[in-house]
Structure 1
Amino acid sequence: MDSGERRIVLTYAPTRRAGDGLAALLDLDDRLGETLRTTTEPMLGQIRLQWWHDALCALDSAPPPAEPVLEGVARHVLSEGIAGAMVAEIVDGWQMLLQEQLDEAALHGFAGRGRQLFGLAARLANADPGDPAGRAGEGWALADVALRLSDPAEAATARRMAEDALAEATKLRWSRNGRALGAMAHLARLDLAGVAPGAPKRTGRALWHRMTGR
Structure 2
Amino acid sequence: MKVNGMFAMLARLGRTFPMTEPLSDPERELALSYAAAPIRPHLRTLWRLDERFGAIVAGTTETTIGEMRLLWWREAIAISDEGAKAEPLLEQVAGAIEATRSDAAEWGAMAEGWHALLQEPLEAQELDRFANERGGRLFTLSAEILSGSAEPFVTAAGRGWALADLSSRISDADARSEARAMARKMFDDAGKTRWPRSLRPLGALAMLARRDAVSRRPRRQGSPVRVARMAWHGLTGR
Runs of 5+ unmatched residues, structure 2:
4-23
| Count of aligned pairs | 212
Identity %: 39
Are residues 125 and 181 of structure 1, via their aligned partners in 2, closer, same or farther at CA, if it must alter by over 3 Å?
A: same
Aligned to 2:19: none
Deviation at 1:63, TM superposition (A): 5.9
Distance change >3 Å, CA 7–CA 170, structure 1 → 2: farther
Residues 168, 219 of structure 2: 8 Å contact kept: no
Q: Distance in 2 between matches of 1:63 and 1:144?
A: 32
Residue among 27, 43, 48 paired with 2:48: 27
Distance 1:54 1:31 in 2: 15
How far is the alpha carbon of 1:191 from its aligned partner? Answer: 4.2
The Cα offsets for residues 32-82 of structure 1, whole Å up to 9 and x where unpaired, read as 1111111101111111111111111112x6362331221221122332111
How many angstroms apart in 2 are the aligned matches of 1:24 and 1:173? Answer: 26
Q: TM-score, normalised by structure 1?
A: 0.90
Counterpart position of 1:102: 122
Paired position in structure 1 for 2:236: 212
- Counterpart of 2:119 in structure 1: which amino acid? Q
Structure 2 matches for 1:10-89, cutoff 5 A?
10-13=32-35, 15-59=36-80, 62=82, 64-89=84-109
Structure 1 residues without counterparts, runs of 5 or longer: none
Measured at CA, do residues 148 and 3 of structure 1 come closer, stay the same or move farther in structure 2, by a change above 3 Å? closer
**What does residue 145 of structure 1 align with?**
166
Checking the alignment, whether the CA contact within 8 Å between 1:128 and 1:177 is kept in structure 2 is no
The answer for the alignment partner of 2:224 in structure 1 is 200
> How far apart, in 2, do the equivalents of 1:184 and 1:34 lie?
20
C-alpha distance in structure 1 between counterparts of 2:28 and 2:195, whole Å: 19
CA 1:84–1:202 in 2, change beyond 3 Å: closer, same or farther?
same
How much has 1:179 moved relative to structure 2? Answer: 0.5
1:176-196 Cα offsets, whole Å, 9 max, x none, are 111100011122234443330
Match for 1:75: what amino acid? G
- 2:182 is matched with 161
TM-score by length of 2: 0.81
Report what 2:207 is aligned to: 186
- Report the AA paired with residue 91 of structure 1: A
The change in CA–CA distance for 1:200 and 1:97 in structure 2 (over 3 A counts) is: same
